[in-house]
Amino acid sequence: MSAYFHDVAVLARKDLRLELRVRNTVPAMLLFVVAALVVFHFALPSDSSELAAKGMLWVAIVFTALLGLTRAFVAEREQRLIDGLLLAPCDRSAIWLAKTVAMLGFLVLAEIVALPAFALFFSGIDGATVAGVALADLGICAVGTVLAAMAVAGRARELLLPLLFLPLAIPIVVGGVGASVAGESGRYLGFLALYDAVFAIISWASFEYVVTE
């Protein structure tokens, strides 16, 4: 087990180092999420409900994550580097987990900017919303990473990922908006936690079949 997490740490560190060096993904995510919130700020009427505003926050988060996910396997695709990882004697699900951890880091960085920006443009952020965002991030990154690996093998990869990801992100938006605006946020947070657990297990178990022919 320690060998497994050693491999995950080695691979995740590689992804973080690549991002620190090239800065391709996180700046784009930051710019996108702030730009989206600014657009929503001007698009929504000033007397809009909190429900509408929170809905916009979740739209911004899901699309920001999607932007990052489209780049998740770019390095591995462009020079067939996935072959190098598949040849290595590590469990293939470790590749998924490492990429999920790295994506989670990128998304959390984007949200560290996005949530205060939302508070500035719309309304304050409460604890339930933060908890909802944190739980949603886990599900988004777990499912999104395996779908990104699937999409990267296809020809129309930029088209394929949103088509695969957005339907599976609907429960996350339902749970996230519910946790943000409902009186009893616990039910929705529980729903998000259940989603995370189920889809993380499915993604973990299926990754080997996705990257192997």
Partner 1 sequence: MIHARGLGRRFGEKRVLDGVDLDLPRGGFMVVTGPNGSGKTTLLRLVAGLLVPTAGELHVDVARERVGFLGHEPLVYRELTALENLDLYGRLYRVPERRERIGMLLERFGLWGARNERADSFSRGMLQRLALCRTLLHDPDLLVLDEPFSSLDDEGAALLDRELAGLRRRATFLVATHDPERLAPLATARLGFA
Q: Which stretch binds partner 1 (CB under 8 A): 31-39, 55-63, 75-83, 132-140?
A: 75-83
With beta carbons less than 8 A apart as the criterion, state whether 172 and 139 touch. Answer: yes
Question: In the structure encoding, which two tokens stand for residue 87, read together?
Answer: 């040849």
HEC readout, 54-77: HHHHHHHHHHHHHHHHHCCCHHHH
Q: Which stretch binds partner 1 (CB under 8 A): 46-54, 77-85, 115-123, 186-194?
A: 77-85
φ, ψ dihedrals at 80, nearest 5°? 55, 30
Q: Does 17 bind partner 1 (CB under 8 A)?
A: yes
Size of the site for partner 1 (CB under 8 A): 24
Q: Does 86 bind partner 1 (CB under 8 A)?
A: yes
Rounded to whole angstroms, how far apart are CA atoms 200 and 192?
Answer: 12
Q: Does 28 bind partner 1 (CB under 8 A)?
A: no
Our CB check for partner 1 shows the closer of 17 and 187 to be 17
Report the candidate in 202, 196, 129 with the shortest Cα–Cα distance to residue 169. 196
Q: Does 84 bind partner 1 (CB under 8 A)?
A: yes
Q: How many CB atoms lie within 10 A of CB 45?
A: 7
Q: Does 51 bind partner 1 (CB under 8 A)?
A: no
Rounded to whole angstroms, how far apart are CA atoms 34 and 64?
Answer: 10
Q: Which stretch binds partner 1 (CB under 8 A): 2-10, 48-56, 105-113, 198-206?
A: 2-10
Kindly list the residues in this chain that would bind partner 1 in the complex (CB under 8 A): 3, 6-7, 10-11, 14, 17-18, 21-22, 75, 79-81, 83-90, 212-213
